[in-house]
Structure formats: C-alpha cells, structure tokens
Structure 1
Amino acid sequence: MRNPVYYEDVSPGHGTLQPRSWTAGSDARRLDLSGEWDFRLSPTARPDDEAFTEDGFDPAAAPGWRSVRVPGHWVLQGHGEPAYTNTRYPFPVDPPRVPDENPTGDHRHVFDLPADWPGDGEVVLRFEGVESCARVWLNGRVLGDFQGSRLPHEFAVGGLLRPHGNVLAVRVHQWSAGSYLEDQDMWWLPGIFREVTLQHRPEGALDDFWVHAGYDHTDGSGLLRVDCPQRARLTVPELGVDLASGEDLRLPVEPWTAETPRLYDAVLSTGSEAVSLRIGFRTVTVEDGVLRVNGGRVLFRGVNRHEFHPETGRTVDAETMRRDLVLMKRHNINAVRTSHYPPHPAFLDLCDELGLWVIDECDLETHGFTHVDWRGNPVDDERWTPALVDRARRMVERDKNHPSIVVWSLGNECGSGKGLGEMARWIRDRDPSRPLHYENDPDYPDSDLHSMMYARQSKVDEIGRAGATRKPFILCEYAHAMGNGPGGLTEYQRLFEKYEHCQGGFVWEWTDHGLPRRTADGRDFFAYGGDFGEPVHDGNFVCDGLVFPDRTPSPGLVEYKKVVEPVRITGDGTARTVRVRNLHDFADLSALALEWSYEVEGEPLGGGRLPLPHVPAGGHADLELPAPPRTDVAGEAQWTVRAVLAGDTAWAPEGHCVAWAQLPAVPAAPTTAPASGAQVAPRRDGSSLTLGPASFDAVTGALTRLGAVPVEGLRLDVWRAPTDNDEGAPWKPGSGPGTAWRRLGLHRMRHRVDAVECDDAGLTVRTRVAPAASDLALRAVYRWTATDELLRLDVSVDPEGTWEVPLPRLGVRLALPGAYDRVRWFGGGPGEAYPDTRAASLVGRWEESVDGLQTPYVRPQENGARADVRWARLTDAAGGGLRVAAGTAYFWLTARRWTSEHLDAAAHTTDLVPDDRVYVNLDHGQHGIGSASCGPGVLQRHKLMVSTARFGFTFSAVAGDEG
C-alpha cells in the first residue's frame, strides 16, 4: 500500500493559522490577487512534480500550461467538464482514499508588492474558498495544505515576501478526503473559486474580535460588549458610545430584526488597525418550545440557497448576491438557510443590511454513504472528528458578528454519529447565544430545533395538534421547487400560522443550477446532469429552484410570495368591508399604504387609497370601502385591495405590492345555451354540415371551421406532459402519478366515433376514448347547438370501468393555424396556475402572445395554464380570430405551438420546435401539482379523480377588435 498523501489525510490540513472574524471593513492594507493565473490541468495528482513552484519556471515554455481566471472553476473555463450528482459520490466509496484519476489543477501567479506596502508587522495569505484540497507554495517554500472547500484558510507569509516577483503556486485536487464531507447535491466544480488576498497585519492589529450586541425586550435596552485579545476601543457615534474592550454597557437602542434591520455604524480600533462594523442588537432564545428573537415568535418564510451563477458557478459576484436578496425581499421571503455550507461572507453582510433571518450551515454532508448503508460514515468515525470540529470552528469564528445569523446548523444529511456531538459541544461552548440545528438524526441529540424535510401537511398538522414540545418545529426543506411547482404551499402556511411552535420552513431551493450551452445551430439552452458525459449523474434534479438560472422568477416564486404575504386582506365586497391583518412578527404597517380599485368585467373603473390606521404586529384593522365609482356598467364586478410600500426601501421602490386580495362585488351572470327561439338547425351540404357560424365533417362530426377560422382536431383530451412532480422522486419510482399514467396509456388515447346525429336543435357526436390494452374508457358526447353567430358545445363524460388513478387533465383540445398567436382573456393571470398553485392568480383582463404564455422550465413539461377563464380570444395580427366563453363553469386555458406529446418528448427547450399550428386546451379540470419530485404528492382535494363530468363552451368568430 502506498504511503498516505496529504489529500487523503482525514485531518483538516497543515500550516494554517487559527480562524478569525471576517474583517472586510479593516483599514489595514490588502492586495487582491484576483486575475488571470497560469494553469495546468493534469488527470492525476502529480505529487512529485513541483517545478512550477520555483522562480525559474516558465509556463510559456512548458507543455500543457494555459490560463484561468481566479477566482473561478477550471471546468467552467474550458478545462475538463462539470458533473452533477445529488447523493452518489462520483468516485468509489473507500474513505479516505480517492482514485488515481484525480483531476488536479496547478495554479501559478507572479505578483509584485505595491511600492508603499508596509514593512512592519505580519502578512497573511488568505484563501476564501478552494474546492476541494489545496497545497500552497510561496517563493518555493511550501506553506501547507488544507481541506474544507467553503471555508477560509490563512498562512503567515511575511518572512517570505519580496518586493518583486513573488511566486504563488497552488495545487488544487478535485478529489480528497474532504470530498467525502462535501456531498451536497450540486455540481462538482473544482478550483480556487473565492478570492485570494494578501492582508497586512500591523503590530497590535486585531487578531480576532466578537461584538456581543444583545437586546432586552422588556425595557428596550441594548447590551453591548466587545471581546478581543488586544486592547481596543469600540465607538458608535450615533449612540455616543466609546467603550473599551472587555467592558459591558447597557443603553437604549432600536433592535435589529429581519423586518426592521436597524444597524449602527461602529469602529473597533487598536490604534494600529481600525475595523468598520455594523452592529445589530438582538437576542435569540428558545422558550417553551418556541424560537424567539427579542422576545417575539419568529415565523420563517424561508428558502434554501446554494451559491450559483450560471456562468461562474459558485463564484458569485456582489451584484448577483444583492440581486438574489432583493428578489427574496420583494417576494416576501424573510429567511435563508445557507445550504449546505457557509456562503461568501459578503452575502451575510447583505442579509444584515436588507434584513433576513439566516441559518448558517456548516460545510458538511455525507449523504452518499446512504448507498452503502452508512458504513464508514465519517461523522461516526473518530478519526474524522478533528476535521468536523475544524469546519464548525471556521464557520462560527468567521461569521459570529452577523446579527442576521440566528441559528447555527451542523450540516446536512450526514446520518448520526459522535462527530456531530463534538461539533455541537464546541459550538455551544463558544457561542451559547444561538441555538443549533441538525435535521438528519431523528433523536435530535444535537439540535435545539425539531427539524424535518418534506413532511406532509398532515404530519405538520399532527405535530401542531400535539401541542408545544420542548423544541420548536421547522421544515428545513419542503415544497420542492423542481419544474412546475411546488404545489400545496397554502396548506402548509396556514398550519404554520395556526400552531405557535410550528415556525415555518425553507423551500428547496432558490436557483435552478442550469449551465448555459448552445446547439450546433446557435440556439441557447441550459444544461443539467448528464449533458456533460458524466457516467454517474442525477439529471435535471439540479434544476429545482424558485428562480431560473438567469434569475427570472418562476411561477413558483410568484405563488410563494402570495402565500407567505405578511399582510392578510379579507372582507365582503358586497358589504364593502375589509379586514387587514398584520402577520409580521415585529413591524407595524406604517411602511405600507392601502390601495383599492374597482373593476367590472376586468376593466378598472376607479381607484384610490384607504386610510390605514396603526396596526401593530399580530393586530388587525377593519375598514370600509367607498361606494362603487360607477353603477351604470353591468357585469361581474370586484374590488382589488393592495398593500403597497408607502415609500422607497433598500429593496423595492414606493408602490411595490406586498399583499393583495380580490373581493367579489357583483357575481358573474350564469352562461346558458342559446335561447330556443334563436337556435338554428344543422344543414348538410355534401360532405359538410353547417350549424350557425360553424362547419363540420358530416361523417366524423368534427368541427372544421368557425367563421373564417379553420379548426382542426377538436376532441376530448386527458394528457399533459408530466411535470417533474408528476414523475416523482428519481430514487422512488412511482412516487408521482406520471408512471401510472404512462402504464395505463393516457399518453396514447384512442378515439372512436360511435354516432353522428342531427336533429332540428343541433348536432350530437357520440365517442369512446380509451387507451390500448385496457377496457377502461371515457364515453364522451359532444352536443353542438347554435344561433346564427354563436356556437355552443356541451360535453358530457362518463367513465367505464374502475379508474384507480386521477387524470392529468380533462377538457377539449383543438388546433388553429399558427397565425392566431395573440391571446386575450378575462380570468386568472398574468401567470400560470394549477389547482394547488393558484393563490397568485389575479382575475383581470390580460393579453399575451402564445409564445409569451409558455414557462421555459429547464426540462420542458406541462406549463402555462391560466385559471378561472371567463372568455378568451385567439386572433391574428389583423385582430380576427376565435372567441370562446365559459359555459356553466370557468375553464383552464392553455395555448402552445406544439402538442403535449411533443412537449413530453423534449429534454431541453431547444427540442421544442414550433410547427404551423397553435394548439389550444380548454380544460374543465386539471390535476394538481404537489411536490412529489422530493416530497408529498397532490392533496386529495386537488386530484382530478375520474367521475362523470359535464362542461361546455360558447364559440364565436371575431373579425376585429371586439371585446
């Protein structure tokens, strides 16, 4: 057996300094070493080839040397390929050993010191993040090696530096013993992906510091103390504070919360170094089974966040970080779990500033050991304990001064073991002011929270009804946002609001991790697992975010915003009464204004503002709406009431909508079939039948034309391209209904016409719709009646046999020429909705192109339905086309340039090639969405169970701009 090498060492590394606080605000000199570095990629670890570390080495004259950007990942810069796995290690499980095939990147950077670089004190070389193991040389001298990819490491280098020609050499191995601790459901992306800096440490500089800033909610006082090894003074000008380190001070302050992120500018100085800080006063406790901040219960409206940028991977710039947090705040998200490692510290600075609760999670996950029954799991092997504790220590010491961090997390999905207990003991000894979180051990010996993943709504209800436990309950992951979804958010949120110790959850996750690629003919798409030739991968399971890779909000994010809105507006539109409930944990509603509008048939007729009295957190106010601005316009009417920002904030401008509700004022008049006196009889003309404005095939009864508009293939449709949630969890076949749908053959239904019957009142077409190899069927009868201008369709559906699965959809599908690509409708919008994702569907008049109706999920699937449609028009550029109105019930509208079958067959968006038709679905029912891609399926009330159904539509031709 070969001698152990450093990259297979279970220790955290050698030669590094003790961890310390993040000091971005220091006035000590720094030199950023970012830029183009010389680079060589080797297929193996090359432990004996160290010539590149020496002064005389010339990369330009050596074979295989290129360049890469630092910070960055070499596999995203043309050197090798990325790979994605969810839980499986992409190498043999033989801890701590790794394969000889171990891609290794040698990095070399030559730099000069600035002419005015200080000559006193010490200098440290700091790496913010390197995946997964690095050995470092400076000017030919080995400094040491380290593991722990998402954590900082420093070396003392003052005695090695020279004014000119410093040679920094870093060997980075993709695989190491540390890789066994970093199986975190993401792309494997090796490289120096965070900044590398030189930092001057003058004599008497701050080795470390900890600003303790508690808050006593009983008297409104702050409790201030700063601990550091050196003598230092803390000044807070706004508070008139000048405090020596080690001293305690109590004084009146405004507290920090995620809703009111009050920060005080401060400076901590030793005389030789001054560090600018922002202090937030707050205290976190667990009392009687409830997590409290500043004495108040907290409800997490949270999201899990990996670091990801589609072009640079886990190298995320400050602009993208801020954009992420602004999007979160604008969508009513108030909490982030840093899955599954500490983020770049600048992200935590932004959380302090903008206001989000943070669960800071350690760089630890050993999920791949579940595939070998947890044999060899490092968290239960004492040889690994020093590395585990080192990771916990580096997280806590770096991040301890952030008020936004209210919980430390030991890591994710590591099973159970004594190493976790050692981590917990160290953290509790170091920082008793924050509770600990860990989910994956059901006995929770090391967690102050009762944490679960993907529990059903019924389980949350059971935990809630059981009464307060000794630990607060959260869902650290729930509502898997993969593809179209997640569904069932509303039911979760009502349970969180109902039970005090059920304190919310964190949707999985924030971002789709799609990587940009281009087809041979120049069309762009986002790639996922398997698109880079990986022999082991987990497909598009890496695309499960609330925003698309380019940060476009998905319908799931819009839905989440509505479900978790911190203001609940209810009332009676007929009685003109409104109740405004403040669901904030701390803030009153003084930052908001209340606006109303009055709409008839979707058209606004007037609006204004309502006076909003003082409403404290947890309180409510009852208000009265004004008289309708007009009563001379007939039709369905409703009030829309919005809570909007009354002024600009750091994350949104004045007028940004925080919450809304629609209150019906005048119900819609029921739609009936054309009056008997106005009905016309069908007329046969050779192979055609004419009925009012429509033409039919006399043999098949198929509608062929409505006015001037050709119509093709109108018939019953039950199929949709299964969503990721329909398909279920990849490791649990059949967990979603998609498998049963395909097994039954719902994607290849056959249609048989049994009768075409004419009478004086209309046309009846009797059909049987059934899958092959089964005696199950749907008897569908189409009854057509008409006036000279209107065509009425009534559909009756009666099942044959015992159906044990729900239907994907139930309605009719038809095709129009491709020119009819402009859609206007009165109903739910502007975005898509399904039975359990419709909270954000706002009733109004909307207009969009057929292309604009599509939701471009990274893996194509069912999308784009609009709910509660009263009527819709599909027209060409001249405004002519077809109008369809609801019968006795509103319908779901979908329009595409491809069929559901083509959508189902596509693996990427570039596989969707439009043809010369627009395919329109008018659905009586849709199956819900659920979260079965990694969680519970569709709730029973949102399933489209097979039963007798009756529904209908009225069609008419439009020649111009008609309403």
Structure 2
Amino acid sequence: MSDRTTVDYVEDVSPGSGALPPRAWYAASDARSMSLNGSWRFRLSATIDAEDDSFAEEGYDAGNWAEVTVPGHWVLQGDGAFGSPIYTNHLYPFPVDPPHVPTENPTGDHLRVFDLPDDWPADGSAVLRFDGVESCARVWLNGTELGEFKGSRLPHEFAVGHLLKPGGNVLAVRVHQWSAGSYLEDQDQWWLPGIFRDVTLLHRPAGSVGDFFVHASYDHTTGEGTLRVDSDVDGRVTVPALGIDVATGEPVTVAVEPWTAETPKLYDGVLATAGERVPLRIGFRTVVLEDGLIKVNGRAVLFRGVNRHEWHPEKGRALDLETMREDVLLMKRHNLNAVRTSHYPPHPAFLDLCDEYGLWVIDECDLETHGFVEQDWRDNPVDDDRWTPALLDRAARMVERDKNHPSVVFWSLGNEAGTGRGLTAMAEWIHERDPERLVHYEGDWNCRDTDVYSRMYAFHDEVDKIGQRLDGGTHKRRELPFIQCEYGHAMGNGPGGLADYQELFEKYERLQGGFIWEWIDHGVEHAELGYAYGGDFGEELHDGNFVCDGLVFPDRTPSPGLIEYKKVIEPVRIEGDAAGGTVRITNKHDFADLSALAFEWSCQVDGETVESGALAVPALAPGESAEVKLPEPPADGRGGERQWTVRALLADDTAWAAKDHVVAWGQFAVAARPLPVVPATDRPVRGEDRITLGPAEFDARTGALRSIGGIEVGSPRLDVWRAPTDNDDGAEWQTDTRYGLLWRTLGLHRMRHRLASVEAGEDALTVRTRVAPAAREVGLDTVYRWTSDGERLRLTVSVTPEGDWSVPLPRLGVRLGLSRADRVEWFGGGPGEAYPDTRTASMVGRWQSTVDGLQTPYLRPQENGARADVRWVELGGLRIEGDPEFWFTARRWTTEQLDAARHRTDLTPGDTVWVNLDHGQHGIGSQSCGPGPLPRYFLKAEPAEFSFVFSAVK
C-alpha cells in the first residue's frame, strides 16, 4: 500500500503515471483473457479526499457498500442516490481555473474481488486494461498502487502479472469526476463519471504480440495490394485467401480486391509470434491528398456522413456490441457512408463494425476546450506548453489503438479547442507516425496543420463560394478539398435545407460532402418525463434540450430527419421524362456499379398502383447514366392523376439489409390531377339562428360553420401560428434573424379575429374578417366564401395583408375542430411529415394512419406532423379536397398546448381533434445551430387565395 495521501495527481496536467505505452487494440487472440465487467462494490464521496485509501488494502470489508455495474456511470445508477447527470454544451460546470477543480468533486471508489480461473496460465505476465474511465482514475491491485491516468475515452494498461494471486485478488479504482483532464474534455454531451468501458485482464505469454501496425495499400492502376505488418515482436503473417506467408516487417504484393465503404472487402489473416496468434482483418486501400482532392484507391470520395456520439438512454456511453451494431446497420440502411466519431475515439468494437459493414471514419481525438471561448481563449491548454505532453499522449493513444482499421481514413485532432502550439505538435506527431492517412481539425481555418479545409455550419452561399474557390484564405487552404464536418443541425423538427447542400456538394469537385450533427438524441430515460434533457436534474448550468439534436430518437427510432437524409444522399438518381416515356438512371456511388441492385417500376392512378414490373437497368459504373425506356402506361378507364414510381432495391440479401430493401426511388407525373369542381348551384337559406347551405349549417350571427352532413365541426378560421421549432427559435449566439422570437414578439401566437360582415348572397355565404395581433397595426384581411352544389361544400379563403409585414408567416391556412376522429386516410405526400425544405423524402401516394400516428414525438414538443402535397384527406367522417394541394396536420391538442409543453408527458389528449389545412408553411432550416431556411422557403405575407371542398365520407 502506498503511503501517498495527497491528491495532487488530480490537478496535474500530465496524462498520468504507471501506464504502459499505447499499442494496437484487438478484440481477441489465443491468449487467455478475463473480463472484470459486472457488479462492483461502490462508495461515493462528495469531495476529492473525503475517504482514505484503506479500501485498496487486502482484507478491507466493503460489505456495507453499494453496488454498481461496470461498465457504467454511477450517476445513472442507484435511482439518484449517486448524484445526477449534468449537461452543458460548452460551459464548464466548474470554475475555469486551470488546472484546478473544486474540492466538491464527486469521487467514486470501486472495488472488485476476483479469482483467477483454475486454468489460468502460471507462466508469462499479465496486463490490466481499462478501455474508458471518466475523468481521472487511480488504480491499486492487491494493495499495490499501479498508477493513475486521465484521458477518459482512451485505453490504459498496467503490468500486473507480478501481483496476481490464484484467488482473492483485490482491484481498487478511485475515480474522480473532475480533474485537470476535464479541461480537455469539454465536449457537447452529458458529464457522466464512472468506469464506462470494459475492464479486462489479459494474459501475456512469453513471446506474445506487442504493438503491431498493419500497412495494407492498394494500387488502383495495377489492382495489386501491398501488405507489410510491422511488429514489436518478430513473427509471421499469413493470409490464406491470398497465399501470403511472410515474416513481420516483410512486404508482399499480390492481386487483391480493395476495401472501400461501398465494397468493404476484408481478408482474414493471422499474426503469429512465439507466444500468441492474433486474428487480423485486413482491408487494402490507399488514402491520399491528390489534385486538391481526398482520394481513396485513386478516386475522389463524397462523404455522406454523420457525427456520432456514443449514447444509450439508460446506460449513457456504456454501449454494448449489439447497440453499436444497430447504429451501423441503421446508417447503412439509410445510405450513410461516413462517420465522424465526435468528439473522441469510440469503443474500438465500433470501428470493427465500420470495417466489416463499410463506413469511412474520421477518428477524433478526445480533446475539446470549448469553454475557453468565454474568455477569448485565454489560458487555453492547447496553446500552453505545459499541457502538450497530455495532448500528445491522447493523440498517441488514439492512433496506436486504432491504426489497423481500414475504415479510418482521417485522424482528427479534436474539436472546438481553438488553435495553438499543442495542436501543431499533435499534427506533426500524427503525420510522422502515420503518413498513410490524412489529418483533420475544423478549428484550423488557415489549414496550417491539416490536410483538408473543414468548417461547421457554413451557410449555403458561403459553401457555394468555397466550391468555386472564391472564398479567399491562405494559398494552402485554397488548394485543399472542403468538407462540412458539421452541418444540418438535427435538433427537433429538421434539419431543413439538406437537399440544397447536397446539390452544392455534387456540383463542385472541391466540395467532398459533410457530416450531419448528429446521430442520436441524448435523452435520459426518465420515469416521469419520458426522456430528460438539460435542466431536468437540477443542474446549476445547463443547455436544455440542445443535447437532443439527433437523426434518431433515444430509442434509435429514425426521425423524419433521417428519412429525409436517406433520400437526399441516395446513391442512385432516378429522373423521369413523362413525355418521352423514359427514366434516366445515374449511379452516384464512388466505387460500386449497380449490379447489386434490381429496379422496378409501378404506375399509380390517384395514388393507387394499377400495374408494376421489373425494369432492366445496366450495371452502370460509378458516375455513368443511362436512359431506360418505360413500358406503355397501362390502359385504365379512370381519368385521374397518373404517375410513375421507379425504385432501386437490393437484388439479394447483404450483410446490412435484406433483399428488396429500398435504396433509392423517384417519382414523376404522367397526367396532372383534375382539380375539384363544385358548381355553386345551391343557395344559402337563413333561418332563425342558422344558415343552411347544401349539407352545412352555419351560425347566422357569426357565419361560423357548425356542421357538415350532421357531423359537428369547429368552424375553420384563419390560422398563422405554429408551435415554434428549435430551428425557428434559433440559438442565443446567433445575430441573424430568429423568426420564432420575432413571431412571438409580433404577437402571432395571440391573433385576434374581428368579424366585419356575414353576407348570405344568391349563390354564396361570405364572411369578412380581419385577423391581427394585439398592439400592432398589421393585419390580414380575410374573406371566407362558401358555396355548394347541394352535396359538397366549397370554402375559398382570400387573404390580403395590411400594413408593413417585415417577417414571414409561420403558416397560412385554416384550423378546425372535429370530434370522434381517429383513422386518417389521405392522398398526398407521406408516409411521414414534410415541410418546404424537408420534403425530398415525401412520396406521393395513398396513406393511412391514426391521429396519434401522425405525431412526431420530438423530445421537446414543437410543430410536427405536417403532410405535404395533400390532394384529399378523410377523417372524422369528412373528406376534404384541396385546390391547390395543401399541408395537413391533425392532433389531439391545440397548437397553444403544444407550444406550452416542455416534454411529451405534458401533452394530454383532449376530446377534439384539431385539424390544420394549410396553404403554406414556412421552411424549417437548421438555425438551432446553423442557417435558417433559404429565402425561397420563406412564407411571405402576401395576397393568397386557396380552397377546400368538404363532403361526408360515403
């Protein structure tokens, strides 16, 4: 037992002491290993030095301690008895006084007693490996201190063979929530202390494998790969499928199939030394910066990527293999081809999956000092030489651990850490250690240390300039490729504008794609709130639901944003020419031809498929296009709207999806929709307190609709308000227009309706109103004109803005109420929600749902669930047709109730279903962190006229 009683190591800027040098990670070998995961004894102290070190001694009685599961975070266990999570985006939740941290520093003592298996080898040594501990750990085995370490998401190993006993081994780990290392880990995520990755005991036989580096390049001009495995311990490398059997360090060149994200060919091999055999999975590929482009195997790549934090709603960052596999499979099934591991190296098993299934990876170092922006980056550790050893240690532990993964094509120095000498030192070390990959760092706008010009949330117009090389900057930067390492902020309803970005990426060679922020909402499962976010645990500082900005919900259900992104980045473009009876197919893959896909056509009349069949498409090479003749449109007596739909499907089962999985699709019209016609043959009849017109009854005094065909209807009236989305509201630091706040300031959430007149004419009932916010002079002159042919009822709404409308409208349409409505059927866009700049994935067809099924369950409730391009909808016994097509939403609570809710559980269904029939919606954009909607998606306050036809469902 050490006599050390100080806690200076917690605030020491060094990476720690006692750990072995970093080396390559591998999942298994023929050497014995023992998992120490499971139930550990646990004691929590409120301060850094509240308890002594005696718990690490053999014979210590921890019988009255609590228990926690390792891997795990203690704040997510114990039903709140062990503290709570803290969420901040960039603010440090402790005083910025580097390298010091508060004395009030939650400290968890972990204790595990274990026996070695009876057949544990007596010879050789052993290594104890920690794959991830947040944020600082001090370790003892059998009373002997092994050392301490920082670098939460990086592996640390200790030599322990000389300390092991057959039985009763006492492993003690003291974990501090805050340390000097916390200043380097200010990532946008929950602060979650604990031993959250695997703890493993590894037997190291005499002559076992040490560190090794698999170099597997590919020459696209010859089709040959060159393999060389450098190893600290001499041995042999065999790859049976390639007939390879060579000594370590010896290169060999053979014909191979290359590895790419589209064609992830891996060769099984073995590295054998005198004491150990390690399985290898080898992918041959070459990454270069050439002609100002990122090229793999001789071809430029376009990243269709996403940023991925590790997250599970119950376990936090303690992910199991199947959860990681679920992430990769979902990504592949939604056409993603790349992942940036924001903002730290992931569990290494995730990279195994990226190798296996095929994803390009930007592997990012466990480094972010974002909180120093609050003091204009003063005292930033990355520009302080005292911290450079810690930075280099983090870079080395990432590179050495992950260097044998073919999926990794970039090393990233970290995220939002400003600039400084420490980052330059990291880049220089990485370039020297691994010149076969490229280096990324977004904060280096002058590209002094990086091989790519990277930005986050650049607006569309700036990206366009960058594509044309009209953006200025240093000469080096202008010669480099460009990626958006973060764009399309997927917070709440959105992101919008993805199709517009993708158009730019595909237009300019220099633009090599980007990575959506981010993969998953970090909601914490909560018994009362459903999912909790920042502030729900009483944090002093927090950033609310800014942690809920993913393409999938916490339970990994795809959001509409992911469905939209899949369509936007689909690797096959399908464009129709109705007049010519052809479809143009373009292969947008970087490497794969179309031989793995089957194509089918279908013809719809009024949204119903009347005929379908296979479509013969050649196995186009990447970038190639072909015009393919469609069959003659099927004869059909109906004269309704006609369209073609062409789909690209998997021809056979693959590792990531089953046969017939839809990869891409396209639609185009053959015959336009006939608009509904309602001759005004019926006349309004005024009674004592009612006016009847065809199947409808109106209030004689107000002109308000009361019923249609005996179905009670809460009268339609003009509605311009929507519960602002996170993207409507924008972010606090933005200086550009945040329309959600402007709408509220103007008073659009509390519009008042003034009745001007009710006129029962010869062929129409006309109701004139003015709709305006209190305290403002602007308004909307609104006229409702009702006509009928005796069975159907037509409403024509005319809107004329009055005054100076300096802001667009959230929506423009009518809202009405229905009772007893549940089942919904419609002909229009679906099956999911869509808005003006998120409608690429909206497929026109006949769809069915329930009212509850129309809702999108964003963690912070907001405007959601609109269906686009609706021709007609049936619900509550009514059929509603539009002239022109319209946006449709229906929910069991009002917009005002939706606006007031902060969690899903705040929404209580009422007896009325509130229906919005909208002529227009304002775009969504990405302004919760990026740009708002492009001007072409603004819903301007200008004269408008639109109609709806109501009838009872027959």
d(CA) in 2 for partners of 1:322, 1:632? 50
Residue in structure 1 matching 2:610, options 584, 605, 610: 605
Q: Runs of 4+ in structure 1 displaced over 6 angstroms?
A: none
d(CA) in 2 for partners of 1:378, 1:586? 42
Would the aligned equivalents of 2:206 and 2:274 in 1 still touch at CA under 8 Å? no
Alignment partner, residue 851 of structure 2: 850
Would the aligned equivalents of 1:288 and 1:469 in 2 still touch at CA under 8 Å? no
Deviates more, 1:457-466 or 1:166-175: 457-466
- TM-superposed CA distance for 1:734, in Å, is 6.8
Q: Which amino acid aligns with 1:937?
A: G
Would the aligned equivalents of 1:680 and 1:787 in 2 still touch at CA under 8 Å? yes
1:158-557 → structure 2 map (5 Å cutoff): 158-466=161-469, 469-519=478-528, 525-557=530-562
d(CA) in 1 for partners of 2:164, 2:910? 66
Corresponding position: 1:675 with 2:684: no
Would the aligned equivalents of 1:733 and 1:739 in 2 still touch at CA under 8 Å? no
User: Partner of 1:928: helix, strand, or coil?
Assistant: coil
- TM-superposed CA distance for 1:25, in Å, is 2.9
Alignment partner, residue 878 of structure 2: 882
Would the aligned equivalents of 1:72 and 1:192 in 2 still touch at CA under 8 Å? yes
1:98-137 → structure 2 map (5 Å cutoff): 98-137=101-140
d(CA) in 1 for partners of 2:714, 2:462? 48
Corresponding position: 1:632 with 2:637: yes
Residue in structure 2 matching 1:941, options 919, 936, 940: 936
Q: Which amino acid aligns with 1:105?
A: G
CA offsets, 1:550-593, max 9 Å, x none? 00000000000000000000021243101100000000000000
d(CA) in 2 for partners of 1:247, 1:25? 24
Q: Which amino acid aligns with 2:500?
A: E
d(CA) in 1 for partners of 2:50, 2:273? 43
1:468-867 → structure 2 map (5 Å cutoff): 469-519=478-528, 525-672=530-677, 674-676=678-680, 679-732=681-734, 735-817=737-819, 819-867=820-868
- TM-superposed CA distance for 1:758, in Å, is 0.9
User: Partner of 1:891: helix, strand, or coil?
Assistant: strand
Alignment partner, residue 67 of structure 1: 67
d(CA) in 2 for partners of 1:734, 1:776? 23
Would the aligned equivalents of 1:736 and 1:933 in 2 still touch at CA under 8 Å? no
Q: Which amino acid aligns with 2:452?
A: L
Alignment partner, residue 43 of structure 1: 46
- TM-superposed CA distance for 1:508, in Å, is 0.0
Corresponding position: 1:928 with 2:923: yes
d(CA) in 1 for partners of 2:50, 2:58? 19
d(CA) in 1 for partners of 2:13, 2:338? 34
Would the aligned equivalents of 2:571 and 2:588 in 1 still touch at CA under 8 Å? yes
TM-score of the aligned structures, taking structure 1 as reference length: 0.97
d(CA) in 1 for partners of 2:898, 2:16? 50
User: Partner of 2:63: helix, strand, or coil?
Assistant: helix
CA offsets, 1:918-953, max 9 Å, x none? 000000000000000000001000000110001111
Q: 1:734 to 1:449 in 2, by over 3 A?
A: closer
d(CA) in 1 for partners of 2:356, 2:59? 48
Unaligned runs of 5+ in 2: 471-476
d(CA) in 1 for partners of 2:346, 2:320? 12
- TM-superposed CA distance for 1:55, in Å, is 1.3
Q: Which amino acid aligns with 1:125?
A: L
Corresponding position: 1:151 with 2:146: no
- TM-superposed CA distance for 1:48, in Å, is 6.1
Deviates more, 1:4-13 or 1:771-780: 4-13
Q: Which amino acid aligns with 2:11?
A: E
d(CA) in 2 for partners of 1:538, 1:348? 30
d(CA) in 2 for partners of 1:926, 1:663? 23
Alignment partner, residue 473 of structure 2: none
d(CA) in 1 for partners of 2:700, 2:675? 32
User: Partner of 1:277: helix, strand, or coil?
Assistant: strand
d(CA) in 2 for partners of 1:324, 1:733? 35
Q: Which amino acid aligns with 1:583?
A: K
Identity %: 66
Q: Which amino acid aligns with 2:842?
A: S
d(CA) in 2 for partners of 1:512, 1:735? 26
User: Partner of 1:385: helix, strand, or coil?
Assistant: helix
- TM-superposed CA distance for 1:730, in Å, is 3.4
CA offsets, 1:266-306, max 9 Å, x none? 00100310000110000000112100000001000000000
User: Partner of 2:397: helix, strand, or coil?
Assistant: helix
d(CA) in 1 for partners of 2:95, 2:324? 35
d(CA) in 2 for partners of 1:445, 1:713? 64
User: Partner of 1:858: helix, strand, or coil?
Assistant: coil
CA offsets, 1:39-79, max 9 Å, x none? 00010012760111111211125xxx201001100000021
Count of residues in correspondence between the two structures: 941
CA offsets, 1:527-569, max 9 Å, x none? 0000000010000000000000000000000000000000000
d(CA) in 2 for partners of 1:47, 1:784? 77
User: Partner of 2:478: helix, strand, or coil?
Assistant: coil
d(CA) in 1 for partners of 2:738, 2:433? 45
User: Partner of 1:929: helix, strand, or coil?
Assistant: coil
- TM-superposed CA distance for 1:614, in Å, is 2.2
Corresponding position: 1:903 with 2:898: yes
User: Partner of 2:227: helix, strand, or coil?
Assistant: strand
d(CA) in 1 for partners of 2:777, 2:918? 24
TM-score of the aligned structures, taking structure 2 as reference length: 0.98
Would the aligned equivalents of 1:574 and 1:666 in 2 still touch at CA under 8 Å? no
Across the aligned residues of Structure 1 and Structure 2, the Cα RMSD in angstroms comes to: 1.1
Alignment partner, residue 878 of structure 1: none
Deviates more, 1:20-29 or 1:320-329: 20-29
Q: Which amino acid aligns with 2:725?
A: T
- TM-superposed CA distance for 1:441, in Å, is 2.5
